Amino acid sequence: MPQRDGRFALGTFAAKDGDEFAGLVAGDRVRPLDDGILPGRPVTVRGLLEQWDAVLPRLGHLAGTSGDGDGWLDLSALRVLPPLKPRQIIQAGANYRAHLFEMASAKFTAEGMTEDEAAGAARAEIRRMAEGRPFLFIGLPAAMCGPYDDVVLPQGASQPDWEVELTAVIGRPARHVPVEEALDHVAAYTVCNDISARDWQFSPEHRALGGDWLRAKNQPTFLPTGPFIVPAHVLGDPGSLQLTMSLNGQVMQDDTPDDMVHDVARLVAEASASVPLFPGDLILTGSPRGNGGHWNRFLRPGDVIEAAIGGIGAQRNRCVST
């Protein structure tokens, strides 16, 4: 995590008995950000992203003062909230090769192909998908919760599932951005866990229409986000980051974004071709294989889920019933 060399992260916090505030994270310390950073306006993480090019050098300088003590708080004394409030959340589905291969092979085998035939057909399907456009859908900010908050499993959902996802945070407005320029519009990255009620997503009455993505994926607390956003220049190549998802201490997902069919730049470019993107918007990039459907094990009250991405941070959420 960020150290005295100017590396840092950003988040939103609250003292145990106080109001929320935007903070600069360096190591295990947090510096509340006052209006000296954004003169004349309240400081929020989204507000910082709206002025990203101007504030980035100042934030880096402040991060280098974390050993001085003045104005810095212990992270352990604070409640960690979702790191920002986005206008829009755009999500990619079925975007990891190994995950797609697993699903496609199972489908073709069920249709009567031999194992080798199914594998060949699955590889061909992945090639076709790579040549086409990514599958994108809309999420709702109301589904977000903090990285250590309880996840509430709604009554009647029998297959709540997990999906750790690298999430790009937009820092410059983007519309019809070419792939070659798309990463210039990404300010930072964070961790999201896209929890989904599979039995609601693909219920018989909605399957012919493509499924009920609103009800299945946007329940309150179904999108743990954070703990922080880490600037893109701190992380370097996002393709090499390690994604893991653990259930009660057992690793269920473990992969890197190098296995994506469509990389971050392509996803941002395609999203910007559909809608204008604004600073603070989140682009979820898909999840590797190893979700609950793979293991035939879905979330239950009392489960503890931990989604983590190397260099960004880790979540820890307890599942509770309504």
Query: Which is more confident, 38 or 238?
Result: 238
* Residue 47 token pair: 């507000």
Report yes or no on 172 lying in a domain: yes
Average pLDDT over residues 144-170: 98
Which one, of 100, 123, 128, lies nearest residue 113 by Cα? 123
The single residue listed with the structure tokens 């840092």 is 8
pLDDT of residue 2: 37
* Residue 101 covered by a domain: no
Residues 160 and 284 in one domain: yes
pLDDT (0 to 100) of residue 68: 65
CB-based contacts of 82: which residues, under 8 Å, 6+ apart? 12, 144, 145, 146, 147, 225, 226
First to last CA, the chain: 35
Residue 1: predicted pLDDT: 39
Q: What is the pLDDT of residues 258-297, one digit of tens each?
A: 999 999 999 999 999 999 999 999 999 999 999 998 999 9
Residues facing residue 255 across a β-bridge: 243
Note whether 163 and 288 are within 8 A (CB): no
Same domain assignment for residues 77 and 145: no
Query: Which single residue is written with the structure tokens 């309240």?
Result: 42
Model pLDDT, residue 6 = 57
| Cα distances (angstroms) measured from residue 36 to each of 40, 43, 68 | 8, 9, 19
- What pLDDT digit, counting tens, does each position of 122-156 carry? 899 899 989 999 999 999 999 999 999 999 999 99
> For residue 41, what are its two tokens?
């306006």
Same domain flag for 177 and 261: yes
Query: CA 287, CA 35: separation in Å to the nearest integer?
Result: 38
Q: Is 160 among the domain residues?
A: yes
196 with 312, same domain: the answer is yes
Residue 54: pLDDT band (50, 70, 90) is very high
Give yes or no: residues 259 and 140 share one domain: yes
62: pLDDT strictly greater than 50: yes
Domain that holds residue 29: 9-81
Closest CA to 100 of 75, 79, 67, 125: 125
**pLDDT value at residue 118:** 86
Q: Which two tokens stand for residue 94?
A: 């079925």
**Is residue 4 very low, low, confident or very high in pLDDT (cuts 50, 70, 90)?**
very low
> Residue 275 in contact with residue 91, Cβ under 8 Å?
no
Domain assignment of residue 116, yes or no: no
Q: Is 259 helix (H, G, I), strand (E, B) or coil?
A: helix
Element (H, E) at 265: helix 264-274
Res 282: pLDDT:
98
Taking the C-alpha atoms of residue 254 and residue 242, their distance in angstroms, rounded to an integer, is 7
Look at residue 67 and tell me whether its pLDDT is greater than 80. no
Count of structural domains within the chain: 2
Assigned domain for 236 exists: yes
The 10s digit of each residue's pLDDT in 206-251 is 888 888 999 999 999 999 999 999 999 999 999 999 999 999 999 9
Residue 113 located in a structural domain:
no
Considering just the CA atoms, what is the radius of gyration of the chain in Å? 20
Regarding whether 74 and 150 lie in a shared domain, the answer is: no
Q: Which residue is listed with tokens 């829009």?
A: 88
Across the range 203-208, mean pLDDT stands at 86
pLDDT of 102 strictly over 90: no
273: domain CATH number?
Answer: 3.90.850.10
Over residues 80-85, mean pLDDT: 98
Q: Is it the case that residue 81 has pLDDT exceeding 80?
A: yes
**Mean predicted lDDT score pLDDT of the chain:** 93
DSSP state of 150: P
* pLDDT > 90 in the chain, percent: 80
pTM: predicted TM-score of the whole model, two decimal places: 0.94
DSSP state, residue 5? T
Position 96 pLDDT exceeds 90: yes
Q: Which residue has the higher pLDDT, 269 or 203?
A: 269
Same structural domain for residues 171 and 259? yes
